[in-house]
């Protein structure tokens, strides 16, 4: 498939803005509506925003790091960009679909590429009941929170919460507690990619809980349902020598 028409998008940092100016001097910017590929300049947070904003276009995204970590990005260079894009390998991501109900009965929906997390809102720990595919698996988790992460998101917040790193093609989700108080030794679970995860907030008036799907937050929720949307295909391009599968594998051997 030809990837000759490029659209450039950049975060608002001076570093990314300068990179955008330089790339537009060297290459034509076709605009997102006409592009065969989108080049995103920024960090991982900006890449998530671009994936959210362009999901209806079905256009692959080639990121170049102009941020901090850049786990989802390729290295930055203005040289041979068309050749790099032509040689890039495609990785397909399936986002999470989240539906939440708050204390007023309002319903909220959001997509998450990395994770869906529920958090306590006050000084008191949250109490959460966890069901998988309609079956209660944990009657009461007392914690700061709990999250469901995709393979792509398993090296993000999930890893910081001591969750498992998941290979990109494993079709597995990570269910990981955040500062679990009771049961204290529960470290989470690995679930099939088809699993439907539900969180029921116990004592919501006394122990209010919020939910965050990537960067979208909804407060005072009482019920959250999460499932992987396997009909949604988000396309990322990576240089062959440093593709996403290899990065996730390498992360498991970092001391």
How confident is residue 249, by pLDDT bands cut at 50, 70 and 90?
confident
1 assigned to some structural domain: no
Considering the domain architecture, whether residues 101 and 218 belong to the same structural domain is answered as yes
Q: Tell me which residue range forms the domain holding 209.
A: 96-228
Q: Per residue in 68-109, pLDDT tens?
A: 877 889 999 999 999 999 999 998 889 999 999 999 999 999
Q: What is the CATH number of the domain that holds 89?
A: 3.40.50.10330
Q: 108: closest CA among 118, 93, 94, 121?
A: 118
Same domain, 10 and 37: yes
HEC sequence for 192-217: ECCCEEEEEEECCCCCCEEEEECCEE
User: Are 36 and 128 part of one and the same domain?
Assistant: no
How far is the C-alpha of 61 from the C-alpha of 24, rounded, in Å?
Answer: 17
Are 202 and 247 found together in one domain? no
Are residues 127 and 195 part of one domain? yes
Residue 155 lies in a domain: yes
pTM score: 0.84
**What pLDDT is stored for residue 255 in this prediction?**
67
Do 17 and 122 fall within a single domain?
A: no
> What angle is formed at CA 239 by the lines to CA 30 and CA 235, rounded to 5 degrees?
60
Residue 83 designated active-site: no
Pair 201, 127: CB distance under 8 Å: yes
Catalytic residue among 4, 18, 33, 44: 44
The angle at the Cα of 35, spanning 33 to 39, to the nearest 5 degrees, equals: 115
Tell me, what CATH number does 214's domain have? 2.60.200.30
Please check whether residue 88 is in contact with residue 32, taking contact to mean a CB–CB distance below 8 angstroms.
no
């Amino acid at each position: 498939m030809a990837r000759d028409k490029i659209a450039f998008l950049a975060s608002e940092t001076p570093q990314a803005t300068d990179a955008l100016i330089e790339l537009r001097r060297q290459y034509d910017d076709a605009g997102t509506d006409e592009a065969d590929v989108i080049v995103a300049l920024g960090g991982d947070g900006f890449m998530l925003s671009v994936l959210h904003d362009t999901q209806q276009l079905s256009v692959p995204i080639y990121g170049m790091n102009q941020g901090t970590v850049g786990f989802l990005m390729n290295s930055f260079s203005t040289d041979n960009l068309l050749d790099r894009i032509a040689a890039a390998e495609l990785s397909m991501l399936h986002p999470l679909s989240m539906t939440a109900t708050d204390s007023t009965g309002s319903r909220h929906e959001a997509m998450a590429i990395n994770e869906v997390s529920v958090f306590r809102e006050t000084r008191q720990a949250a109490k959460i009941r966890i069901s998988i595919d309609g079956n209660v698996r944990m009657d009461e988790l007392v914690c700061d929170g709990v999250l469901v992460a995709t393979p792509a998101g398993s090296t993000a917040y999930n890893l910081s919460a001591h969750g498992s790193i998941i290979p990109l093609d494993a079709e597995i989700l990570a269910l990981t507690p955040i500062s679990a108080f009771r049961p204290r030794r529960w470290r989470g679970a690995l679930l099939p990619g088809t699993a439907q995860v539900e969180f029921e907030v116990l004592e919501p008036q006394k122990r209010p809980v919020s939910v965050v799907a990537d960067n979208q937050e909804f407060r005072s929720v009482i019920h959250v349902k999460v499932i992987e949307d396997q009909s949604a295909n988000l396309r990322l391009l990576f240089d062959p020598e440093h593709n996403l599968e290899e990065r996730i594998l390498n992360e498991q051997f970092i001391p």
